[in-house]
Amino acid sequence: MKRSPMPRKSVDSLTPYTEEPHAPLNLADNTNLFEPNPCFAEALAQVQPDMARSYPSLQSERFCEAAARAHGVKPGQVATGNGSNELIDLAIRVFAEPGERVAWHPPSFSMIEVFARAAGAQVHAVPLRQPGFTLDADGLLAARAKVTFVCRPNNPTGNSFPRAEVERVVRGLDGLVVVDEAYGDFVGDSFLPLVKDLPNLLVLRTMSKAQGLAALRIGYGIAQEPVIQNLLKVRGPFRLNALSELIGTRAFERPDHVERVVRETSQERDRLTLELRTRGMAVNPSDANFILFRPPTDAARLHAALERRGVAVRKFGDPGLRAWLRATVGPRWVTQRFLAELDDALREVGPSR
């Protein structure tokens, strides 16, 4: 009897990415709960069935041109991925040999560690400091890793590390520094203008969050040309499908959409922060479209009570975050419904003993 083949050792101990169970009110994945970029519906209305037969463009050229125009760089400085998480994987595989160091600052986007381990890299954690989940820039500098990840604003903590600290990390290292700006639209200031001066900087962006196009899986990275050329040596062709390229290219023509989502998110985030604090929660200051909060009761029980009421928020296995939950910020009606269910769930769970 034949056995199932064994994977590489570095893969055997990993577990697939999980998400919260689907719930009528999904506040667990930081997607846009406002509206998607209107170009989505406009572009779909113009799609011809003929389009289905051909491959999309090899390197998503039209998308890269639009992204370059929007961000003031050259098209050759843009690489696309099937979501920005593909570019995290790629950056590690291209710039760190197996056994070489990849540094990150947990708690952060958990896929960094998974991709690094799968690539056989040596994962070097430089934990965020308490209180306030602040960046240990000296720790990241001391690690001297081949690839270093900084997530700004950080997921899941929501805060945006001081610009000068992150810049010190990029300038002080020779290895690649990936500044993940998946939530960069919400904070306003970006590391993109520094790309022209810093040959070791790769900035990652996604259309999954403020743009409201998570279903299309559009991520892109911007760096100086040699970094992009090296990424393209390993990344497969046609990574954006034709629909994603069409709609993603159009999305840049509607900056008003992102501006509105960011403005409304910021208003609702302030309101939700206040409301949570009134209920005795600790709230980590957020520059993103989600809030990390510590309830005055058992977080796992509150999470389960919310789930029974049809509300999914994110809970964490990481020991430093077990007392915390994370919720996406949405429009006013979402905040109202969340707070109503939260109050009901808090009554059920009661204060912690």
Ligand X SMILES: Cc1ncc(COP(=O)(O)O)c(C=O)c1O
Residues in contact with ligand X by CB under 6 A are 30, 83-85, 109, 151, 155, 180, 182, 206, 208, 214, 219
In angstroms, how far is CA 342 from the centroid of its own chain? 26
Q: Which of 110, 47, 63 is nearest to 239 (CA)?
A: 63
182 versus 227: smaller Cβ distance to ligand X? 182
Rounded Cα distance, 83 and 70, in Å: 19
Least separation, in Å, of the C-beta of 184 and ligand X?
10
Rounded Cα distance, 61 and 52, in Å: 18
Q: Quick one: tokens of 131?
A: 């209180």
Rounded Cα distance, 94 and 223, in Å: 14
Least separation, in Å, of the C-beta of 182 and ligand X?
4
30 versus 200: smaller Cβ distance to ligand X? 30
The tally of CA atoms less than 13 A away on the side-chain side of residue 14 is: 19
Size of the chain in residues: 353
84 versus 335: smaller Cβ distance to ligand X? 84
Least separation, in Å, of the C-beta of 270 and ligand X?
21
214 versus 262: smaller Cβ distance to ligand X? 214
73 versus 182: smaller Cβ distance to ligand X? 182
Q: Which residues contact 1 (CB under 8 A, 6 or more apart)?
A: none
Please classify residue 337 by burial: count the beta carbons closer than 10 Å to its beta carbon, then call 0-12 exposed, 13-18 middle and 19+ buried.
middle
141 versus 215: smaller Cβ distance to ligand X? 215
Least separation, in Å, of the C-beta of 112 and ligand X?
8
Closest-CB residue for ligand X? 83
Least separation, in Å, of the C-beta of 126 and ligand X?
16
Q: Are 170 and 194 in contact (CB under 8 A)?
A: yes
Least separation, in Å, of the C-beta of 343 and ligand X?
28
